[in-house]
């Protein structure tokens, strides 16, 4: 059991229809590791500047997240600014300052190099090769998430990386774009032919669909009455999914279905507060209760 997450740790400035928050902690790696930490002890590879808050490091450590792969560099932490409209599925990027993330060279400490599950969370697809090169053996599962930015700017590198991964997380827009079909199901099935054995389509408030060669699984999102900040929901979904799979040990259809629901449940908590705030109080007991409630909600 070990899950290695390569991703960003960042400051986010977020505007929702109700509120604006300046420079709160975010980042795909941060969200994903926090979500996974309710199931396993994730190991993080990333980079921050000297301005990254000590108390966030302490929070991550208190959740048993291994930070030996986190580089602290002179300079500023990655900063993203975005705005949400009334539809939380739609957001506009206002500014992206890569800062120390610009020259990020992932370095895996020796204790990371036997990872069972490796997750490349929204990083430059050109960094995949150097990460693979540091591993002692091929992980049982390699997972990849991406963003529109890499599809637009580095499609060849992305397709090359995609060919070597087992699990690909993407939202519906990205699946339709990469699968070259306006029908999500057809596009999803098509992506299966590009390499991954499992395609996980994150549909935000509409849930998630999982395509594999053997079965399709779908789940709703937990109905959320108060979406405070949708940032990081997808990263938390991936973190919960992979954390749950890592904990389960086995990776058959039953475990994949369960992991999908855990991913969805963790994401439903994350969006109840700004940034990573909800993780400061969240407990495994709350997660298990919502999992059971959700099971009742969809039973027929």
Q: Kindly give, in sequence order, each residue whose CB lies less than 8 Å from that of residue 274, ignoring residues fewer than 6 positions away.
A: 14, 19, 21, 24, 228, 229
Please pick, from the candidates 216, 249, 280, 289, the single residue that binds its own copies as defined by CB under 8 A: 216
CB of 292 to its own copies, least distance (A): 12
1 binds its own copies (CB under 8 A): no
Which residue reads 């930015």 in tokens? 149
Task: Looking at the chain, list the stretches that DSSP marks H as alpha helix, in order from N- to C-terminal side.
Answer: 28-36, 54-62, 128-133, 148-153, 155-163, 172-178, 184-192, 233-248, 253-270, 284-298
CA 3 vs. chain centroid, Å, equals: 13
Q: In angstroms, rounded to a whole number, what is the distance separating the alpha carbons of residues 56 and 117?
A: 24
User: Which tokens is 277 given?
Assistant: 């705030």
Cβ distance to its own copies smaller for residue 37 or 244: 244
CB of 177 to its own copies, least distance (A): 12
Cβ distance to its own copies smaller for residue 8 or 16: 16
CB of 250 to its own copies, least distance (A): 15
β-pair partners for 79:
11, 97
Which residue reads 């990776």 in tokens? 251
Contacts of its own copies in 65-104 (CB under 8 A): 86-87
182 binds its own copies (CB under 8 A): yes
* CB-CB contact of 264 with 237 (8 Å): yes
Which residue reads 């966030």 in tokens? 56
- Contact segment (CB under 8 A) with its own copies among 3-11, 114-122, 161-169, 225-233 equals 225-233
186 binds its own copies (CB under 8 A): yes
183 binds its own copies (CB under 8 A): yes
225 binds its own copies (CB under 8 A): yes
Please pick, from the candidates 110, 133, 223, 252, the single residue that binds its own copies as defined by CB under 8 A: 223
Interface with its own copies: number of residues (CB under 8 A): 35
CB of 280 to its own copies, least distance (A): 24
257 binds its own copies (CB under 8 A): yes
Please pick, from the candidates 219, 231, 244, 268, the single residue that binds its own copies as defined by CB under 8 A: 219
Q: Kindly give, in sequence order, each residue whose CB lies less than 8 Å from that of residue 196, ignoring residues fewer than 6 positions away.
A: 144, 162, 165, 166, 167, 168
* CB-CB contact of 120 with 144 (8 Å): yes
Please pick, from the candidates 57, 63, 220, 247, the single residue that binds its own copies as defined by CB under 8 A: 220
Q: In what order do the strands lie in the sheet with 79-84?
A: 20-26, 10-15, 79-84, 91-97
- Contact segment (CB under 8 A) with its own copies among 38-46, 90-98, 209-217, 271-279 equals 209-217
Q: Which residues bind its own copies (CB under 8 A)?
A: 17, 86-87, 182-186, 189, 203, 205-207, 209, 215-220, 223-227, 254, 257-258, 260-261, 295, 297-300
């Amino acid at each position: 059991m070990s899950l290695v997450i390569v991703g960003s740790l960042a400051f986010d400035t977020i505007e929702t229809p109700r509120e604006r928050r300046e420079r709160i902690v975010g980042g795909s790696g941060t969200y994903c590791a926090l979500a996974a930490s309710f199931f396993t002890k994730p190991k993080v590879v990333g980079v921050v500047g000297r301005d990254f808050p000590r108390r966030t490091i302490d929070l991550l450590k208190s959740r048993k997240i291994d930070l030996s792969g986190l580089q602290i560099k002179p300079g500023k932490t990655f900063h993203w600014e975005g705005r949400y409209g009334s539809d939380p599925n739609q957001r506009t990027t206002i500014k992206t300052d890569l800062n120390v993330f610009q020259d990020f060279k992932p370095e895996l400490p020796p204790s990371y190099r036997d990872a069972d599950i490796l997750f490349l969370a929204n990083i430059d697809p050109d960094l995949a090769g150097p990460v693979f090169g540091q591993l002692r053996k091929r992980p049982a599962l390699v997972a990849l998430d991406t963003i529109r930015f890499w599809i637009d700017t580095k499609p060849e590198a992305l397709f090359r990386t995609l060919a070597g991964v087992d699990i690909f997380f993407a939202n519906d827009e990205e699946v339709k774009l990469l699968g070259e079909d306006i029908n999500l199901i057809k596009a999803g099935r098509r992506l299966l032919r590009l390499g991954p054995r499992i395609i996980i389509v994150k549909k935000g408030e509409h849930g998630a669909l999982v395509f594999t060669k053997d079965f399709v699984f779908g789940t709703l999102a937990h109905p959320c009455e108060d979406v405070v900040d949708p940032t990081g929901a997808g990263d938390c979904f991936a973190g919960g999914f992979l954390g749950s799979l890592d904990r389960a040990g086995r990776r058959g259809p039953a475990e994949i279905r369960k992991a999908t629901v855990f991913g969805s449940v963790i994401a439903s908590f994350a969006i109840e507060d700004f940034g990573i705030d909800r993780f400061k109080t969240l407990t495994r007991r709350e997660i298990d209760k919502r999992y059971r409630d959700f099971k009742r909600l969809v039973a027929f």
